[in-house]
A and B are shown apart, each in its own frame.
Chain A
Amino acid sequence: QSALTQPPSASGSPGQSVTISCTGTSSDVGGYNYVSWFQQHPGKAPKVMIYEVSKRPSGVPDRFSGSKSGNTASLTVSGLQAEDEADYYCSSFAGNSKVVFGGGTKLTVL
């Protein structure tokens, strides 16, 4: 399974918005509405921020939003805060119980 494509880095100033893209194929991102986004701080386990393209688990701020168009999913973080600085990974269901991940994006809050 090929990894999904994410930009290696993204940045923004506090209060700004930043969008991270995640590009796959019609066999994963484009074929299913089961894209998730995970936030990972150094030394910690990933945390679910978005699931099923645009749904937020309880406790995740509404500053985090997700969307999808064709084979590309996106995570937008609005009103950037210092604690948002972390690595972000996208993931997609890819059929037959298989899951594929993106390479990760390091988000820096300037």
Chain B
Amino acid sequence: QVQLQESGPGLVKPSETLSLTCTVSGYSISSGYYWGWIRQPPGEGLEWIGNIYRSGTTYYNTSLKSRVTISVDTSKNQLSLKLSSVTAADTAVFYCARFNWNVDFWGQGILITVSS
């Protein structure tokens, strides 16, 4: 069974860069599928952030593209998310996910709060 586990600091200061890691177990990222990130502000809906393939090819939500970097480390079976110049509006639960045309496996999510 594919399992995804997000990790990172729970609190980030405004204007800084948010960095998250997702560790995948039960499936090798290098075997295929797209992997990516989704976020959900408190009390709000889901927003796709972006995806990455094992080759490193990335696709980003146009609204976040200028601030987002997604990378993959196949040796550690991990993917990472960096979101720069964060503001309070970036406070959200961040989920990593596997994409098989659409999401088929979700991580449990991690709450990231942007505050000084």
Contact = CB atoms under 8 A, between A and B. Distances in A.
Contacts of B53: 97
Interface stretch (B22-30, B75-83, B99-107): B99-107
A1 B48 contact: yes
A46 B47 CA distance: 13
B48 A98 contact: yes
Contacts of A102: 45
Say whether chain B's binding surface is mostly helix, strand, loop, or mixed: strand
Interface size class on chain A is 20 to 34
B108 A34 contact: no
Nearest to B108: A45
Given A1-B61, A45-B107, A99 B45 contact: no
A93 B95 CA distance: 18
Interface in B82-101: 95, 99, 101
A48 interface: yes
A64 interface: no
Interface in B38-68: 38, 45-48, 51, 53, 59, 61-63
B47 A97 contact: no
A45 B106 contact: yes
Nearest to A35: B102
Contacts of B102: 34-36, 51-52, 91-93, 99
Contact of B34 (A36, A48, A97): A97
With most chain B CB atoms within 10 A of its CB, the pick from A46, A89, A97, A100 is A97
CB-based closest 5 A-B pairs:
A34-B101, A97-B59, A36-B102, A101-B46, A99-B48
Interface of A: 1, 3, 32, 34-36, 38, 45-48, 51-52, 89, 91-93, 96-104
9 contacts: A34-B101, A36-B102, A51-B104, A52-B101, A91-B103, A92-B102, A97-B53, A99-B103, A101-B48
